[in-house]
Structure 1
Amino acid sequence: MNRLTFFLLAALLLCALSLVSAQHQARTLFVALERAQSEEKQLDIDWSRLQYQQSALGKSARIADAARTQLRMAPALAGRTQYLQGVVLPNTPPDAEKPAEKPAAGGAAK
């Protein structure tokens, strides 16, 4: 009986150590999961903030304001517009653009 009792005691200790190890691993994984979920929430908040900033920066009023204040740009006025002359593109007659028509094969020319 002594051997059986010793064997059962050893098995009981091994099972208890295995249970403690499994619970520790479960707690460690749960803490890692909580951290990952917290990071996911923070990244989602950052994403929303960046989308808002992108939409705010892309508005035409903000762009026009930045052009006036930072770049000192002004809208073009008709009186200040300069037109360049001297570049003349040749006009091609409409007939020159069409290829010459060939008579149909086997048909009589009139």
Structure 2
Amino acid sequence: MNRLTFFLLAALILCALSLVSAQHQARTLFVALERAQAEEKQLDIDWSRLQYQQSALGKSARIADAARAQLKMAPVNPGKTQYLSGIVLPPPAEAASASAAEARR
């Protein structure tokens, strides 16, 4: 009877220690989960902000303003436009072979 009592007492102590360890691990994992969720929220906010900035920077009016102010560019003026004539570009190799194949038919 003495051995059975000692065995049950040892089993009870091991179960109690196991329960304490499991609760500590659960709390640690919960804290890590909360931190990850907070980081996810922050990254989602940053992503939305970056998408807004990208759409704002991609607007043509902003690009035109930057071209005028920073690059000293001017809109196209038909009076100053020069057209070159007499330049004939050779057809690409694929187009030439396709046209040659059609000519054989």
Report the AA paired with residue 26 of structure 1. A
Write the deviation string for residues 56-81 of structure 1: whole angstroms up to 9, x where unpaired.
00111100000000110001222222
- In structure 1, runs of 5+ residues without a counterpart are 90-98, 100-110
Q: Give the 3 Å change call, closer, same or farther, for CA 56–4 of structure 1 in structure 2.
A: same
Partner of 1:35: 35
Partner of 1:78: 78
Partner of 2:93: none
Partner of 1:8: 8
- In structure 2, runs of 5+ residues without a counterpart are 89-102
Compute the TM-score of the two structures, normalised by the length of structure 1. Answer: 0.74
Runs of 4+ in 1 over 4 A off after TM superposition: none
Report the AA paired with residue 61 of structure 2. A
The number of residue pairs the alignment matches comes to: 92
Distance 2:60 2:22 in 1: 59
2:45 pairs with 1:22: no
Compute the TM-score of the two structures, normalised by the length of structure 2. Answer: 0.77
RMSD of the alignment, in Å?
2.1
Aligned-pair identity (%): 85
Q: Tell me the CA shift for residue 88 of structure 1.
A: 6.3
